[in-house]
């Protein structure tokens, strides 16, 4: 075994021991949480005095098995580091979420998605086994054949059943470049129909498709971004500098072509946090020229957002300009693909937010995941929208409207942002009965938060 692999495994084992020691140092009556410097959650939370567990040794890639096409990865390893370790072998995770700071453990316990999800499903479906620190203070292995109840319930549990300290995931071979075709649509019905056809067949104009997502700018302007891996050399675009990726998609009619390296394709959305960097002025040509490239990334914008929230800068600006405060609407929802056009039409006529991101998905296997029970053999579209709207006549009126509409269309909402469901509604949507059974088995003293308390009550 190579010395580097031995060292990585030893470092990981030492990190697990520090994690356990920090857990045991927390008084039995005190709540537990992870000590994390970054987060991709957007929930409003009450002040949490829980002592953070030491995760300092759980941030790396432990080993890549090129022959088996698997990787053993620490739970708090970012996809940025995973991709760096696997691409050198011509491999990548089956699903690489859009932002570099998303961790593998976070994407599995909190769900993740990207443009391979129409063929590879969600990140937790490529997990072969996990070592999990449970609420009982034990590190146990969970897989389809071992502690299978915890393995199935872990996705969408958001750390309330335990924390993944090691995950073994499948990898797939990738080529050096991605050839992109950006197809414009003037009708949402036509857009969704084309997306449905590609998801069902895996092909566009008879050619195999590797990547698929889309952007809606308005009812009359939307695009599918169709990607194909290629080894053919040639010029590539660079959207880490002055050019902005999502603006490059737009054109008057028909289709346009583009090429990126596989690395730049996987991180095409990170440089400008999709399009949300505009809120910080990072897309203004003059500011962009002086904004250092190493700081044009999602982690920088997330830090700026935390400062804004802490000091309520946005509210103060609105007040100075004589405008009402604004409601944050940051959500991703899964809509059955045959109802997606209806949802988009409603959304564009009801919520003043654009652009909107679209990402089709279909579970890779027939397995069921009780805490996020979307159906196997059915295509969905993840609809992502991240902005603010003027406050309404009651608390979170727009977010509540969206929740109701998603429910009417048999959709599901991700829990990384604010939610407003009643306890019975939440239990019905997110596997309440199954959750309580597994919670009792693996966290009998309730050292970890309850999922409803964390996702809705913002504890």
Q: What is the pLDDT of residue 170?
A: 98
What structural domains and CATH numbers belong to the chain? 3-174+440-455 (3.30.465.10)
Tell me if 173 sits within 8 A of 91, measured CB to CB: yes
pTM > 0.75: yes or no: yes
Q: Which residue has the higher pLDDT, 28 or 21?
A: 21
pLDDT of 388-410, one tens digit each?
999 988 889 999 999 999 999 99
Tell me if 362 sits within 8 A of 380, measured CB to CB: yes
Is the pLDDT assigned to residue 50 strictly greater than 70? no
Q: How far apart are CA 124 and CA 104, in angstroms?
A: 9
By DSSP bridging, strand 51-53 and strand 32-34 are parallel
Q: How far apart are CA 166 and CA 2, in angstroms?
A: 20
Lowest mean pLDDT across 51-55, 112-116, 249-253, 355-359 = 51-55
User: Which single residue is written with the structure tokens 């949402």?
Assistant: 188
Long-range contacts of 187-193 (CB under 8 A, 24+ apart): 187/220, 188/216, 188/219, 188/222, 188/341, 188/344, 188/345, 189/341, 191/216, 191/222, 191/223, 191/224, 191/341, 191/358, 192/337, 192/340, 192/341, 192/344, 192/381
Counting Cβ atoms within 10 Å, is residue 427 exposed (0-12), middle (13-18) or buried (19+)? middle
pLDDT of 203-242, one tens digit each?
999 999 999 999 999 999 999 999 999 999 999 999 999 9
Q: How far apart are CA 112 and CA 375, in angstroms?
A: 17
Q: How far apart are CA 347 and CA 278, in angstroms?
A: 22
Using CA atoms of 444, 448, 454, 459 in order, give the dihedral in degrees to the nearest 10. 120
Tell me if 348 sits within 8 A of 221, measured CB to CB: no
Tell me if 385 sits within 8 A of 351, measured CB to CB: yes
Q: What is the pLDDT of residue 6?
A: 66
pLDDT of 430-447, one tens digit each?
999 999 999 999 999 999
Mean pLDDT of the chain: 93
Task: Count other C-beta atoms under 10 Å from residue 221's C-beta.
Answer: 16
* Dihedral over Cα of 240, 243, 247, 253: its sign: negative
Tell me if 336 sits within 8 A of 406, measured CB to CB: no
Counting Cβ atoms within 10 Å, is residue 289 exposed (0-12), middle (13-18) or buried (19+)? exposed
* Dihedral over Cα of 270, 230, 170, 201: its sign: positive
Q: How far apart are CA 456 and CA 430, in angstroms?
A: 12
User: Which single residue is written with the structure tokens 């190493």?
Assistant: 294
Is the pLDDT assigned to residue 47 strictly greater than 60? no
């Amino acid at each position: 075994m190579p010395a580097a692999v031995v060292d990585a495994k030893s470092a990981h084992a030492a990190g697990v021991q520090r994690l356990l020691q920090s857990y045991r140092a927390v008084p039995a009556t005190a709540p537990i949480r992870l000590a994390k410097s970054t987060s991709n959650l957007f929930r409003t939370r009450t002040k949490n005095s829980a002592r953070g567990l030491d995760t300092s040794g759980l941030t790396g890639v432990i080993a890549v098995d090129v022959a088996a096409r698997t990787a053993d990865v620490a739970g708090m390893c970012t996809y940025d580091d995973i991709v760096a370790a696997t691409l050198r072998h011509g491999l990548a995770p089956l699903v690489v979420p859009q932002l570099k700071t998303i961790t593998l453990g976070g994407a599995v316990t909190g769900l993740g998605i990207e443009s391979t999800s129409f063929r590879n499903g969600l990140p937790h479906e490529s997990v072969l086994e996990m070592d999990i620190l449970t609420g009982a203070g034990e590190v146990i292995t969970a897989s389809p054949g071992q502690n299978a109840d915890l393995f199935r319930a872990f996705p969408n549990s958001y750390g309330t059943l335990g924390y993944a300290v090691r995950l073994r995931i499948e990898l797939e071979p990738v080529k050096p470049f991605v050839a992109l075709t950006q197809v414009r649509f003037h009708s949402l019905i036509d857009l969704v129909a084309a997306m449905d056809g590609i998801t069902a067949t895996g092909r566009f104009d008879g050619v195999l498709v590797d990547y698929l997502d889309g952007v809606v700018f308005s009812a009359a302007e939307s695009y599918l971004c169709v990607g194909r891996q290629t080894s053919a050399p040639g010029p590539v675009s660079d959207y880490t500098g002055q050019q902005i990726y999502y603006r490059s998609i737009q054109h008057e009619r028909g289709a346009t072509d583009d090429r990126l390296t596989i690395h730049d394709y996987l991180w095409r959305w990170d440089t400008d946090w999709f399009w949300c960097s505009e809120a910080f002025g990072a897309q203004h040509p003059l500011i962009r020229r002086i904004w250092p490239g190493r700081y044009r990334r999602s982690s920088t914008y997330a830090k700026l957002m935390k400062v804004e929230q802490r000091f309520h800068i946005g509210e103060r600006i609105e007040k100075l300009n004589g405008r009402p405060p604004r409601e944050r609407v940051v959500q991703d929802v899964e809509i059955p693909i045959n109802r997606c056009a209806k949802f988009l039409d409603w959304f564009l006529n009801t919520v003043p937010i654009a652009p909107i991101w679209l990402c089709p998905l279909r579970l890779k296997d027939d397995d069921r995941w009780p805490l996020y029970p979307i159906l196997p053999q059915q295509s969905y579209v993840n609809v992502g929208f991240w902005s603010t709207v003027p406050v309404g006549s009651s608390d979170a009126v727009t977010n509540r409207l969206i929740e109701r509409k998603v429910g009417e269309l048999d959709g599901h909402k991700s829990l990384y942002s604010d939610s407003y469901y009643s306890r019975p509604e939440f239990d019905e949507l997110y596997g309440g009965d199954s959750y309580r059974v597994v919670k009792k088995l693996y966290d009998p003293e309730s050292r970890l938060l309850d999922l409803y308390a964390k996702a809705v009550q913002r504890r």
